[in-house]
Each structure stands twice: as C-alpha cells, then as structure tokens.
Amino acid sequence: MEEKAKLLVEALPYIQRFHGKTMVIKIGGEIIDHERLLKSMLKDVVLLSYVGMKPVLVHGGGKELSRELRKLGKPLKFIEGLRVTDEETLEVLHEQLAGKLNKQIVSIIAGVGGKAVGLTGLDGNLIQAKKLTLRRNQHGKEVEIDLGYVGEVEKVNATLINYLLNTGYIPVIAPIGVDAEGRPLNINSDPLAAELAKALKAKKLILVTDVPGVLRDVNNPASVISKLPISEVSGLIQNKIVKGGMIPKLEACIRAVQGGVEAAHIVSGHVPHVLLLELLTDKGVGTMITKDA
Amino acid sequence: MEEKAKLLVEALPYIQRFHGKTMVIKIGGEIIDHERLLKSMLKDVVLLSYVGMKPVLVHGGGKELSRELRKLGKPLKFIEGLRVTDEETLEVLHEQLAGKLNKQIVSIIAGVGGKAVGLTGLDGNLIQAKKLTLRRNQHGKEVEIDLGYVGEVEKVNATLINYLLNTGYIPVIAPIGVDAEGRPLNINSDPLAAELAKALKAKKLILVTDVPGVLRDVNNPASVISKLPISEVSGLIQNKIVKGGMIPKLEACIRAVQGGVEAAHIVSGHVPHVLLLELLTDKGVGTMITKDA
Amino acid sequence: MEEKAKLLVEALPYIQRFHGKTMVIKIGGEIIDHERLLKSMLKDVVLLSYVGMKPVLVHGGGKELSRELRKLGKPLKFIEGLRVTDEETLEVLHEQLAGKLNKQIVSIIAGVGGKAVGLTGLDGNLIQAKKLTLRRNQHGKEVEIDLGYVGEVEKVNATLINYLLNTGYIPVIAPIGVDAEGRPLNINSDPLAAELAKALKAKKLILVTDVPGVLRDVNNPASVISKLPISEVSGLIQNKIVKGGMIPKLEACIRAVQGGVEAAHIVSGHVPHVLLLELLTDKGVGTMITKDA
Amino acid sequence: MEEKAKLLVEALPYIQRFHGKTMVIKIGGEIIDHERLLKSMLKDVVLLSYVGMKPVLVHGGGKELSRELRKLGKPLKFIEGLRVTDEETLEVLHEQLAGKLNKQIVSIIAGVGGKAVGLTGLDGNLIQAKKLTLRRNQHGKEVEIDLGYVGEVEKVNATLINYLLNTGYIPVIAPIGVDAEGRPLNINSDPLAAELAKALKAKKLILVTDVPGVLRDVNNPASVISKLPISEVSGLIQNKIVKGGMIPKLEACIRAVQGGVEAAHIVSGHVPHVLLLELLTDKGVGTMITKDA
Amino acid sequence: MEEKAKLLVEALPYIQRFHGKTMVIKIGGEIIDHERLLKSMLKDVVLLSYVGMKPVLVHGGGKELSRELRKLGKPLKFIEGLRVTDEETLEVLHEQLAGKLNKQIVSIIAGVGGKAVGLTGLDGNLIQAKKLTLRRNQHGKEVEIDLGYVGEVEKVNATLINYLLNTGYIPVIAPIGVDAEGRPLNINSDPLAAELAKALKAKKLILVTDVPGVLRDVNNPASVISKLPISEVSGLIQNKIVKGGMIPKLEACIRAVQGGVEAAHIVSGHVPHVLLLELLTDKGVGTMITKDA
Amino acid sequence: MEEKAKLLVEALPYIQRFHGKTMVIKIGGEIIDHERLLKSMLKDVVLLSYVGMKPVLVHGGGKELSRELRKLGKPLKFIEGLRVTDEETLEVLHEQLAGKLNKQIVSIIAGVGGKAVGLTGLDGNLIQAKKLTLRRNQHGKEVEIDLGYVGEVEKVNATLINYLLNTGYIPVIAPIGVDAEGRPLNINSDPLAAELAKALKAKKLILVTDVPGVLRDVNNPASVISKLPISEVSGLIQNKIVKGGMIPKLEACIRAVQGGVEAAHIVSGHVPHVLLLELLTDKGVGTMITKDA
C-alpha cells in the first residue's frame, strides 16, 4: 500500500518542474492506428493535464488517409515524402482527419474524463499557411514542382489555444492550414507541431513515433542516442547514420529548439506510458534534442 | 450615391435592436448543398457579426450523408423521420459532417474575412446527449424501437460558445452529441438548434429551409402564414394543414419559444439575402413563431 | 427588396476594415448651425458606432459664439484667425459651447438611440493646455501678442475617453482646455481634433467643413484634390493655391498624420451622408491627406 | 505642532466609518453664487475624496438662471415653486447650468488638484425623466397645469457614475434630465439628488442650503432640530412649523431615507467647512433626517 | 518501469474527482512533534497542491506549548479539556505556535518546493472570535467558569485564504483568533478546522491524529469504524464506546458535515503517506464521517 | 470648531502628493519596546492607510530577543554589530519576532480598526536570502567569519505584498529570510527595509529610530542635519561625524535611494505622531536622505 504512495511522491519533482508548462505532443499515424495504444496514451495525456501541465495534441493521419484513398481506387503520389494533394485528396483528408480521427481522439478523451476541443487550422484562422512549392534543379534548370494543396505554416494564432489551455481544455489539432483566401491546405504534422510549440512558447515538443528514437545503428533498436545537441544533427545526416523519414522529424525538432522550446523528444509510442515515463519519472526514453551546451 | 447611404441608414434601427444579441441560425441540408446560396448566406452571416450580432450556426447534412452512404452501397433506413444509425453510419456521419461540411463552412467564412470555429458536440463536451429510444404501441404491447446511435440533447455547455461569441468568433456546430461515456451520438439538428438557442439565451432561432415558411395551402407558396402564436400550432397539425417534415420544425420552434427565445423563424434559403431581410429590414419573410399575446 | 440587402453586403468590407477603429470627427460651426444637416450627420455617427467603429466628435462653435457676443454688443476681435478671448468672451464660450451646442449634440444623439457623453477639456482634466502667445516681428522687434484666454494643447488624457469608447459611448468634446491651475482656455477645434486623434491612436481624422475639400482652383468646386501626400502641402501654400482658413486645417491634418493617424480627410458637410460615403463605401469624397508613399 | 497631528488622529474613526462610501452632496444656488464659500467647499470635497469617500455633487442654479432671464427681459414664472420652462428658458438653462456653473465647479476642483467630470442627465442618458404635469382641483374640476419642459426623474443610470467614482473622479451633475425622445427637461435638483443617492446606494444625502437646518422657530436660528426621524416630519408641516421652500427639501430627504440612504442632512453652506465638520468630526451641524428608530 | 507509470494512472480518477477542491487538513500536535512524520506529510501536501487540490493546513501545538510552559515552571491547567489561558500562557502560545511551529511548517514546505503562507487568526482579521465562557450547574446553581483568553470562532474571513489558494499558496493557520477589540484568543484547533472547512466550502475535513480512527473497541486498533453517518455518533457516545478526546473531534466532524462539507475523516498520522492513500487511492484509511444516507 | 477643520484642509496637499504611494516604514526595537509609543504610531499608520497611502511595516526586535536569550542564560554574541545566530538563537528569534512581536503589532492594528497581515520572509518565499559570510583581513590573511544563520537579501517577491496593499491590508514583516533550501535566516531589518522599498517601488523609506536623526554633533540633539544628499554621507563617516549604529542605517538609506526610492528618512519614534508630521504636514522632522541634486 505504502509502496503505491511512495511512487506518487517520486513524481513530485517532475510535476513541480513542468507545472503550468505547455507541452506539444505530436502523435504519429502508426500509433493512432493502434487503438489500444492510443487509448492508453490519451489517458496519460489527461493525467498530465490534471497534474497541471498543458498538453496540446497534434495528430497525423497519413495511414488512414492512404487507406481511404486506396478504397476509392485513387493512386497515392508522393514527392520527397510530401503527399501530392489534389482537390479530391483534400476532401478525403478533411473527412478522415478533421472528421474521423480528430473527433475520435476528442471522444476518447471525453470518455476518460478529460475535456478536449478538436480543431483544424481553419478554425479561428488558427494556422495560417501558404502553398508550398518545391524548387529543384533538374538537368541544369530550376523547375518548380507543384504539390497541389500542400502548404507550410506562416503564422499560428495562439490566442484561442491559450484560452483553451487556461480553462482546462486539451486542444487536439488536425494538420490542416488555411491560406489568405480561406482555402484549406494539407500541412505536414511534424513541422506544424514545431511551429505550434514555438508560438505557444512550449517547454517541450514530443514526437511520438513508432521507432525508439534516433538510432546509431538503424538495425539495432538498443542503439538509441539519448541526448543529441542540435549541432550534431548535420553530422549524423551527412554520415548517413540518420536517413529517410527521420530527417524531417529531426528538422522539426531543430526548428522548435531554435525557436525557444527547451527540448524536443523523439520517442516510441510502443513503450507503454511513454509520456508519463518521459515527463513524470527520471527515466528518459527515446532521444532528446537540445540546444548546444 | 446618396441612395446607397440612405439604405444603410434605414438599417440602423434593426442594428440597434439586435446589437449584442445572440441569433441561432440552423442551415438545412438543401441549402448547404447549393454552393452559391451557401456562400451568399455565409457572407451575410459575417456581415451580421460585424454589425454587432452574435450568430451561432448549426448545420444539418442529411443529404450529403445519404449520398455518401449510397456510394458505399449501404441502404438508408429511417424510422419516423429519424435516421437509424449503426456504427458505420456514425463513422460516415463524422467524416461528412464534422470533417467535410463543417470545415467547408468555416473555410467559406474565413474566405470572406470572418472568423469561425467549427465544433461538434464532442468538443469541450459541448452537447451532452443520451441515447434516444422510441417507445411505441404495437398490437397492444409497448415495444422499444432501437435507432442505434441516435441521441437527444440533455445539456448544452454554453461557456465555450459564449467565449467564442464574446471574442468575435462565429461558432459553427455539427449535429453530433456526446454521451456520458464520451461516445458520439447522431442528433437531429432542428431540436439541437432549439436547445442551443435556449442555453445561449438567444434572441431568435432561425431555421433556414427550402420552403417559404408554414403554408396554409401546401400547394400555394404564396399562402405563407406570417405570424404564428405557439397556441395555434396544434390546430394546424390536427387539421392536417401542417404535415410531414414541417411538424418537427414547428416543435423545435415551440421548444425554443417556451424556453425564453423571443421568436423563432422558418424561412426559405432560396430568398436571396434572407437573413439580412429578416434581421436588418422591416420586410418580414417566412413564418415567425412567437409566444401567445 | 433584394437590392436593399445587396447594398448592405457591399458595405461589409468597409465595416471589416474599420471595425473597432477610432475615428475623430470634427464638425465645423457651419454644419452645426444647419439643423437638418446636423441631425442627419449625427444619425450617421450613431450608425457608425453600431457597426463597430468608435467615433469621437469634436465640435467648433465660432458662429454661435460670435452671434451671441454680437447680441451682447461686444466687438469681435481676431488676430491671425484666432479669437482674442477676454474673461467675458470665455464665459459666453462656456455658455454657448459647453452649455448649448455640446448638449444639443448629445441630445440629438440620444434622440436617435445612441449614447453620447458631452465633455470639455476641463472634465477629468481631459485636455491639458497652456496659454498661447504669438511672437511676431514688428518693425524689427519681436513683440508678444496677447490673445487672452487662448490656449494650445499640451496633453490629452486618453483614459476616460477610451473607457467611454469601450463601453459604447460616443464622446462629444467642446474645444475648451484646462491649464495647470484649473483655468479654462479657448482652444481652436481643428488642432484639438488632431491632438485627440494622435492621443487616441485614431485610424482617421475627418474635418467636416463647408467646402468640398482642397481645391486646385478655389473658384471651381469640381477641382477637388482627391489625394494629397503631406509633402505636397507646402507647395500648395507657397503657390497660393491654398489660402486663408484652409491653411490651419491642412496644418491640423499634417500634425495628425505625422503623429501616426493613417489618413486625415477634409470633406463637405453639405454632401448628404458624407461620413457613410467616406467610411462605408468606396466613393471617396473630399480630400484625403496621407503620409508620403 | 503635535496638536496638528492629534487633530488628524481624531478624524480617523470618521474616515474609517465612511471609507469607500458614496455621499451625494447637493449645493444650492445661494452657495454657488458665493464664490469664496464655493471654493472652500469644493476644496473640502476634494479632501473627502482623497481620504477615501466618494462624493457626488449635484448643483442647482436657479439664481443664476433667473438673473440671466431677467437680463434678457424675460418674465420669471413659477407655479408651486416650480419654474415654468419654455423653450427659450430651457436654452438659457443649458447655457447657465451645463455651460457656466457646471464647468465653473469642475474648473475650481481641477484648480485644487481634484479630478471632476461635469455631466448633465443627457450625458450617457444618465437621468431618464418624463414631463411633469401637475393635476390640481380648480372650481371642482381637475385641471392639468402645464409647466413646459419640466420633468421628474424616472430612472438613474448608475454605471457611468460608478465608473467615475471607482477611478477617482468626482461627478458634478447639473439638474437636467432627458426624456425617451432625447429631449432635455428641467429637473428640480433636490429630488434629483435624492434619486441619485438612492440609485448609487449612497450612505448620505447632504443638502447644502443657506439656512442652518430645520428650525423649531423660523425666527430663531438657534432652534435647529438636530435629529429628525421621518415620521415626525408630517407633524411639523401640519403644525406649520415647517413652511415654504423647506417642505420640498424635507420631502427629498424622506424619499432618500425611505430608499435606503442611511441619513439625509440639511446644513448651512455658510458654516465654514461644514462638510468636514459633518463627516470628519463628531460635531453634528444642521438637521439629520433618519429612519424611525 | 512500466509499473511505476501504471500506478500514476491509477491515481487519475482521484485526481479528477478532487481537482480544484479545497481540503482542510488539521495536523495534531503529536504528529507535528514527530519530525520525520511531519516532513513526509508536508511533502505529500505539496504533492496534493501540485496535482490541483487546494489544501489548507491547521495545526495544533498543545504539546509544544505544555513543554514550554513546564520549562517556565508554570502549572498547566485544563477544564473539560480546554486549556485555561492567562496572559502569560497566551504570550507563550504566540511564541510557540505562531512563532515556532507555524514557521517551521512553512519552512519545511518551502524546502520541498511548495509555497506556503503562515497565518494566525489575527492576520487580516481572519478568524473573528469571542471569549468562551462555560456555564455549568454546580450544587444547583449555574456558575460561569472563566477559562481566560480562550475563544470560539464567530466568523471566518475567507477572502484572503481564497486568494492564497487561487494563486497556488498553501495557507498554514495557527489556532489563534481575534476578538472585536483586536485581542488574540486561544482557539481549539479541531473546531477551528471545522469552521474553516465550512467557510471555505471545503470538500473534505481531515483530522490527522495519533489514533487509527474511531474504534469499536478502544483496545483493539483493528476495530476501526470505516464509515460513520453522523446520526450514529450520539449512540456511540452514550454507549461509552467513544470517550475522552475523541468526542470533541467527532463533534468537529459533525459540525463540518452539517455545514456542507462532504466528508470528514479521522486518520492516523502514523500511517505513512496517509493523505495520499486517503485522497489518491481507493484505500480508505481511518474513519469517514458523512451525512446520513 | 472651525480650527479643527482648517487643520484637516492643510493636510490635503500632502494627502494628494502621497495618495496611492507605497511607504516602507521600519520600526526599530526601541520603539516597539515602548508600548504607548508603539500604539500611537500604529494608529497613525492606520490613518495613513485610510487616507490612501500604502504603508508596509518592517520591525526589528533585537531588544526583545536579547532579553529572552539572557533569560535562557545564553550569552549574546555580536560581530561588527551583527548577531551571531546559532540554531537555538534562531528558534528564539522565531518565537520572539514572528510569534510575539509581529502578532502583537497585527493585534494592535486590528484593535484600532485597521487590517494587517503579519509575515516573515518564509511566507510565500517572500524574502529570498543567502547566508552572509564576512571576509576580513586578519594578520595579512583573508579569513571568513561565520555568523551562523545570518543572511542577506537576494530577492524580494513583491506579488503577495502588492496584492495585500491593493486590497487594503497593511503588511507587517518580521526580519527573517528564507534560503533556497527553505531554511530561515536572521536578516538585519534596516537593509531588509531598504530592499523591500526598492522591490515595491516605494516613494519613501522611513527608519523610525530612537535618535532625532543624523546629528552634526552627537552630543547635541538639536544639531540634526535636515537634508542629506547621498554624496555627502561618505564625508560624514570619514570625518567620524557619523559613527556606530548610524552607519548601517545610512547605508540602508543610500541603497534605497540608489535603487529608485525618492527619499529615505531617519526619524525619532519619540516625537509624537512623527509619521503624520513627516507625511501629512510641511514640518520635516529628522534627516531626509535624497539623491544628489
């Protein structure tokens, strides 16, 4: 019995440290797909909110989207990891992300006694974005690659989110921005989470993925790099230690840390209670990206 | 030139009368389907918000939903006008209403310079509901008719909506409620609008439909009843003057008026600028349901 | 019918642009004298206030004052356009401006459903002023010309006016300042309006006069200069294109624009609904003085 | 030296008792006319405001008004002590009361370091009034006596005055009301002060007059009745002990006390520092009208 | 590792239930005396405050006081369990309770990262009290027994404490009241805690003692009564099951529960982490006194 | 009678000047010991608070402490005027200062109708301090002199005190600080008062002592220096005009003045009503230390 209480007491210093601090948590599509994991994680988010932190959730949803597009017999098209988004894709994106996933998350949170408000970047002009155009050199000429309705964040309107946080709501944000004419744009959720963390002056950005963190040896899950100053990232990329999908995640982390966020974390959603371990115990899990000492 | 200004001046007494007053406007599925009409109407809503009123939008979406279900090869099933809602239907409902229609409305408003926030009843536990069960007498026995995930409003949490109204946002609400366990329920949007109007102490409830109002002769669109005290409604129903889908609309109006809303209006969304005519000029259009004198 | 509504919709972008913005409007004595014009203009001011702008009125009153002084058999005396003000004149000034005109304006506004509060610079030490002394070279010697109780603005206390604006009142200000000993001073209403516009961080200063604007040819009312950057004003004065009473008006406009006011306007109060035309339609009337591009 | 400090200490219990309490002080025309007395009294009012009380001034101005009307060659006409007020009289009333006296009081207060705001009942629709019609029996028939633009108070809007009091301003109110159409009405300042005291939940109503209080023997200034429960007033009137102008003053006091004001005082403005004596020492001066024990 | 997190998750429903709720916790002298226990308990109190509860501490201090009085060679005198308090005793009371114990508690809380403010009932006139006089029948005559400077609570001023709670401070209150003349009075800390709980509309009153709760058999610590409706208490007293010092504790609990506090608890401070067990787990310890079902 | 009122009027300019201004008043142990003087002084402090100033009291208590230590047979030990403070001394310090003197002051203030809150630097981590170590050269070597639990101020948390001042409470502060581990430290009350004055942006710091001020001739009480710019202080010390206990007092005054406090005063508590004389009349008493002209 007493053991139980002792464990609560051990959490005290962490609760004190992060009390009233905003935490932007991005939950990747792989975890969202995994119902049991998602429920457990959202319960933990509600707990964090009750012990005084201010969690903001950003969700992806690529898998759900791809599945739905496939159902409709629509070929998936990506350029440099970015989904080419035509009007029909955008519509399905709204249906699946804003309509289904976002509300599913809100519903689970309500079910465990939390209060969440689901939003997209359209709501209250929350995430102002502009169309993203890739400029690449092909055969010695610069060409513009059109990705369709894909955007990058220009400005985050923090007022509404701060109101929600201060009155005890957990904002749940789908990765859709709005351009100056009120048109929606598909936004990658990793850089979106980074921009939110900056705009909200968050203490931490946590990217919940399906890998254990940044690995020294991509074949060895035990080779997680615990602490990574931002200056060391470029070396890891040049030496091909870090590759593929991890690169934009690290870029998002760097953007956040350079923008004033104290630390960014890349953790695995498969570790049970990973958020509690990371935020309420001294057991660091995954990789923490920080300013250079 | 001067004519133009004179017209603005004529609007003054109406602006004064409704300044700072909350107006719950329910836009029916037929109008939402009609893109040009919808855009024009939302522009008018933004104007109302700028001249000091506090509009709250509730949208239906039955048509969109039915169309989508048909696409999926799913038979539509209604009992007494209520859509029987199984889990799959609920999912499509989320996709189409919360995901597509709701965000489409928010997007159009953003495009004309307004600020809207799209919500469902799940967000912030806004619309607390419970499962609706019909009890009917069949062959001398009371039987319960299960409609699946269909609910009725138990309580509206007005705080979040009032915050949004007071900071200049236009709330746009999809007809989905949440039960005590956090599960979503399909809610009919007419009674939902009535309950919102009551909870927000709205001045008016306006149901925008595709008919000109309550008709004395259903075949004669010119036979609109301009003013209808609530005590006269039951006579109209008993004498079969009012039938079918108009009955639940009138019931919603009565519920609102009995709950303290000053007047409820049934108007046609096909009349250009119907909201401006109703609220900013002395030209009454459609049917106004009021307390008995 | 629909036409009417369309015109309202056309006003929307202007309403959006100026929503919540402070507008300092100086109404010259000639207009105040013209009862029908004044009533119509004040009705328009109330409309502006209801659609979300924050109008502040400054009134002159020289004509009324001169008429009253003549009745009392008192010779009128002006030096360089400034009224020499002895104690008796000051008393009549109070009676006519603070007592009669100011309250007449407040009364008309109340009569059309607005809420105004009439103030002089004495109230709440609103307009702190100091005695104005002209120093002129006469016959090679500098002489001081005593104008009596005439002052220039030193400091505007914006708090009280901002409170009134934020709670929906229209401040109506008579051109009387107060010196450090609490004594009233006669202040010219054009520079006073400019100083108020600066202190209140107003969006616009509008001088309502009895001429159509700044004219290229003083004999041709159609020769109004629509847009006038402040750098071009001195040329107009040196070339004697602008003369007489228009010079101090232009100086007030320059003072406001240099102090951060976006634009100053010189318009004719004889144009019906001139304020609505200027602020709610795209029809510019009169002369707009702006920063140099 | 020490004596001085001791006297300050003696004021402490009175300061404590009335700290934060609203005091409505009506200054009669005889005192206003007396420049030295007025200045001294206003200095005392500023002192009261600095030691934490919330004084509200109401001024009369009949004498000034009559003098001015006589200058204009206009006959004065009174019915039952009420001034018959035609349009011309109303205009002079505005000039003299709102224009001259009110601003003179504001100016004197500014001169001794206080902050006053001069208002009439028109400002902010402060004093809503309706036309007063006397109904009298003449030769067995009821006749209506028209007094012209004379009104009685219907409603006091306390919000603006409370704002001014809470931010340290001293409101100075001229006895002019406004009817539902925005037209000014001449209001008797004694009942006006009583209604203000009620609406502001004042602790005290103080009528500063030119008599020492209510006298048992009108020829003996030493026969002041110190304390007068409201139930004894009617006896004094019936027995003709109290006559003439004192009767409406007593009626105003009764109205205030019955409306919740703790005590009403009738004091002489000729007693130096009468307000300080009444409010900051235990020396009661004049007559105090209170609830019955 | 995961075990740890699971335990935190189990605390969630309790944290949710008591979030934002005020808890008045009285720590008896025996526990205060026991340094290690006290430190552990205060750390738990800080934890409760960080997870969103609002703890208010009331401490006794009889033992410390008696020890000090004995040191001074002063005989201890009690009547019916109440300490007879002469002036010298009162002085020592201040020294030991307000000076030593209170500040020691504040200091320990600061040492574990909490923010406490130590107060007596004198501070801000927090606990208004009046002298307590016992009236007893002796030999057929009523006699008054003078206890000296001993008081009972008349009124608790909740404003200051609520400010402290709302800004995250933990109020620590020594059992000293103040009478109308500003004189301190010795107050028994059990009824004081009950009155505080009522005035602060606390959710719970917790009396931390050195016994395990209310026992059915005073010699058997295992015979704790878990749940005790207030109606059953008198029976326990009449049947001599409850005796001595437990009686006033139960009376305090009844007073609190009848005054609107949801439950009162009598628990043992010797149970490690008793507050956490009581408030954050489903393990009830000690006796819970509640309203009758 | 009138004389009395006149004296009140004379206080007006001083009340105006210091209205809403914070005054830090340190009352030395000699005055605290003198019951009649103390009571009179606290009554004056309450008066100052009622006329709109914001007094903050800091008290010493060395005499009481020494007396108590002597009673316990404990030798007193001072180094350079600083009391060497072992654990036992610290405990007695708490008992005497926080327990007895502080609450006695609060009690007297309550008795004359004021509202005080007694605090030490522990409360709300009000006065963050660090251990003070003297470094002195002895026989050519730097040695550290350990004073035990003696500290110097590092940071004052002004929020709680400002809340108390703004809601009308008089903070009464005992000279005890708290280090980063939550341990109390004995702080000299003169520099503490100076740091409080700086942190609270006080208008004045007033040290109430038992000497008439800074004397030119220490044997001649009439040789008080009225005004002393801080630049002249070092000369006075070098020329041995100022010696002993006056030096640290002057250093505290300089620290305050250099930190933005307008003036620091050294006055005698034996002058009756010295605070009123200093703050409410033009009779300067004692020495005023100011910035250099």
Chain A residues lying within 8 Å of B115, measured CB to CB: 124-125
Check F51 against D46: CB less than 8 A apart: no
CA distance B147 to chain A (A): 21
Quote the pLDDT of residue A273. Answer: 92
Q: Do A125 and B115 touch (CB under 8 A)?
A: yes
In the chain, the amino acid numbered E273 is H
Interface of C with B in 35-54 (CB under 8 A): 43-44, 46-47, 50-52
Instruction: Report the alpha-carbon distance of residue B46 to residue B49 in Å, rounded.
Output: 5
Neighbours of chain D (3+ CB pairs under 8 A): C, F
Q: Please give the average per-residue pLDDT across E197-209, as a whole number.
A: 97
pLDDT per position as a tens digit, D236-290: 999 989 988 899 999 999 999 999 999 999 999 999 999 998 898 877 789 999 9
Q: Which of D108, D119, D181 sits opposite C182 (nearest CB)?
A: D108
Residue A42 pLDDT grade (very low, low, confident, very high; cuts 50, 70, 90)? very high
What does pLDDT average to over chain D?
Answer: 91
Specify if F59 maps to a domain: yes
User: Which pLDDT value is given to residue F284?
Assistant: 78
Confidence of residue A1 (pLDDT cuts 50, 70, 90): low
Residue pair A17/A81 in contact by the 8 Å Cβ criterion: no
Q: What pLDDT, on the 0 to 100 scale, is given for residue B218?
A: 84
Q: What is the pLDDT of residues D41-58, one digit of tens each?
A: 999 999 999 999 999 999
Could you tell me how many CB contacts below 8 A there are between chain B and chain C?
98
Residue E124 CA: distances (Å) to CA of C98, C127, E214, F106, F203? 48, 42, 36, 8, 24
The band of B2, judged by pLDDT with boundaries at 50, 70 and 90, is: low
pLDDT per residue as tens digits for the range C209-258: 999 999 998 889 889 999 999 999 989 999 989 988 899 999 999 999 99
Asked if residue A12 belongs to a domain, the reply is no
According to DSSP H, which parts of D19-86 are helical?
29-32, 35-50, 62-71
| Tokens of residue F154, six digits | 């590092």
pLDDT value at F30 more than 90: no
pLDDT band at E285 (very low <50, low <70, confident <90, very high): confident
Q: Give the helix ranges, DSSP H, for chain D.
A: 2-18, 29-32, 35-50, 62-71, 87-93, 102-111, 158-166, 189-199, 233-238, 246-258, 274-280
What distance in Å separates the CA atoms of residue D141 and residue A138, rounded to the nearest whole number? 107
Higher pLDDT, E21 or D80: E21
Q: What pLDDT does residue F243 have?
A: 86
E169–chain F Cβ distance below 8 A for any pair: yes
Least Cα separation, residue D121 to chain C (angstroms): 10
Q: Which residues of C touch B51 (CB under 8 A)?
A: 15, 50-52
Write down the mean pLDDT value for chain F: 91
Reply yes or no on whether the pLDDT at D90 is more than 70: yes
The pLDDT of residue D283 is 75
pLDDT range class, residue C285, cuts 50, 70, 90: confident
Q: What is the pLDDT of residue B1?
A: 55
* Touching partners of A (3+ C-beta pairs < 8 Å): B, E
Do D106 and C122 count as a contact with CB atoms less than 8 A apart?
yes
Largest CA distance in chain D: 72
CA distance E289 to chain F (A): 33
Mention every residue, 6+ apart, whose C-beta is less than 8 A from residue B272.
B40, C2, C5
Q: How confident is the model at residue F1 (pLDDT cuts 50, 70, 90)?
A: low
Are the beta carbons of D149 and D186 closer than 8 angstroms?
yes
**What is the model's pLDDT at position E200?**
98
What pLDDT does residue F2 have? Answer: 63
In the structure, do chain F and chain B come into contact, i.e. share 3 or more CB pairs under 8 Å?
A: no
What is the mean pLDDT of the segment spanning E71-89?
87
pLDDT for res C225: 95
| pLDDT at residue E2, rounded to an integer | 64
User: Residue B16: which of C173, C109, C273, D155 has the closest Cα?
Assistant: C109
D-contacting residues of C 119-148, CB under 8 Å?
A: 119-120, 122-125
pLDDT-based confidence at residue C60 (cuts at 50, 70, 90): confident
Q: In angstroms, rounded to a whole number, what is the distance separating the alpha carbons of residues C96 and C29?
A: 12
Binning pLDDT at 50, 70 and 90, where does residue C2 land?
low
Determine contact: B88 vs chain A, CB below 8 A. no
Q: Is A79 on the interface with E (CB under 8 A)?
A: no
Q: Which site among E42, E51, E267, E274 would you substitute to test the A interface, given the most A Cβ atoms closer than 10 Å to its Cβ? A: E51
Classify the C-alpha dihedral B244-B249-B252-B258 as positive or negative: negative
User: Nearest CA of chain B to the CA of C101: how many Å?
Assistant: 24
Amino acid sitting at position C253? C
Name the residue with tokens 């709330």.
B171
Write out pLDDT tens, residues F130-168.
999 888 888 888 888 889 999 999 999 999 999 999 999
Query: Do chains B and E have 3 or more beta-carbon pairs under 8 angstroms?
Result: no
ipTM: 0.90
Cβ pair A15:E273 closer than 8 A: no
> Inter-chain contact A98–B97, Cβ cutoff 8 Å?
no
The answer, yes or no, to whether residue D1 has pLDDT greater than 60, is: no
Note the pTM of the prediction, 2 decimals. Answer: 0.88
- Minimal C-alpha gap between F96 and chain E (Å): 6
- What is the rounded average pLDDT of the residues A33-57? 94
> Looking at the partner chain, which of D9, D44, D50 has a beta carbon nearest the beta carbon of F19?
D50
**Interface touch D106/C91, C-beta < 8 Å:** no
Among B139, B142, B132, B217, CA closest to B177: B132
* pLDDT (0 to 100) of residue A208: 97
Structure confidence by residue, pLDDT tens digits, D169-220: 999 999 999 999 889 999 999 999 999 999 999 999 999 999 999 999 888 9
User: Is residue B125 within 8 Å of residue B178, measured between CB atoms?
Assistant: yes
Instruction: Note whether residue A208 is domain-resident.
Output: yes
Are the beta carbons of C107 and D91 closer than 8 angstroms? no
CA distance F202 to F53: 11
Top residue of D3, D44, D50, D112 to mutate, by most chain F CBs within 10 Å, is D50
Mean pLDDT computed over B68-75: 87
- Chain F CB contacts of D11 under 8 Å are 8, 47
Residue C175 lies in a domain: yes
Smallest CA–CA separation between F110 and chain E, in Å?
Answer: 5
How do residues F209-257 score in pLDDT, each as one tens digit?
999 999 998 889 889 999 999 999 989 999 989 988 899 999 999 999 9
Q: What angle do CA D160, D161, D164 make, to 5 degrees?
A: 90
Above 70 in pLDDT, residue C265?
yes
* Binary contact (B107, A183; C-beta < 8 A): yes
Contact F281 D4 (CB under 8 A): yes
Do D113 and F276 count as a contact with CB atoms less than 8 A apart?
Answer: no
Q: What average pLDDT score do residues A99-111 get?
A: 93
* C96·D99 Cβ contact <8 A: yes
> Are residues C245 and C239 in contact, defined by beta-carbon separation less than 8 angstroms?
no
CB pairs under 8 A between D and F: 100
E133 confidence band (pLDDT: 50, 70, 90): confident
Q: Is the pLDDT assigned to residue C56 strictly greater than 80?
A: yes
In whole angstroms, give the CA distance from residue F256 to residue F252: 6
* Position B196 pLDDT exceeds 70: yes
pLDDT of residue A6: 75
Does the distance separating the beta carbons of C283 and B12 come in below 8 Å? no
Q: What is the pLDDT of residues B229-257, one digit of tens each?
A: 999 998 999 998 998 889 999 999 999 99
| Four-residue CA torsion sign, E212, E216, E221, E225 | negative
F3 belongs to a structural domain: no
CB contact under 8 A, F118 and E122: yes
**Domain for residue E113, yes or no?**
yes
- Interface mutation target, options E50, E109, E169, E280, chain A, most CBs of A under 10 Å: E50
Interface of A with B in 7-26 (CB under 8 A): none
Lowest mean pLDDT among C109-118, E80-89, E229-238, E257-266: E80-89
With a CB-CB cutoff of 8 Å, which residues 180-209 of chain D face chain F?
Answer: none
What is the model's pLDDT at position F99?
87
Considering CB atoms only, which of C99, C176, C183 is closest to D95?
C99
Mutate to test the interface with B, among A46, A123, A149 (most CBs of B within 10 A): A123
pLDDT computed for residue C71 by the predictor: 87
- Please report whether residue C18 resides in a domain: no
pLDDT tens column, C10-53: 888 888 899 999 999 999 988 988 889 999 999 999 999 999 99
Q: What is the CATH number of the domain that holds D174?
A: 3.40.1160.10
State which amino acid sits at residue F21. Answer: K
Instruction: Provide the domain count of chain C.
Output: 1
Residue F27 belongs to domain spanning: 22-290
Q: Do C160 and D169 touch (CB under 8 A)?
A: yes
| Residue from E21, E47, E49, E112 whose CB has the most chain A CBs within 10 Å, to mutate | E47
User: Stretch D124-144: mean pLDDT, rounded?
Assistant: 90
Let me know if residue F256 belongs to a domain: yes
| E82 burial via Cβ count (<10 Å: 0-12, 13-18, 19+) | middle
- Phi, psi (rounded to 5 degrees) for B183: -85, 140
CB contact under 8 A, F2 and D273: yes
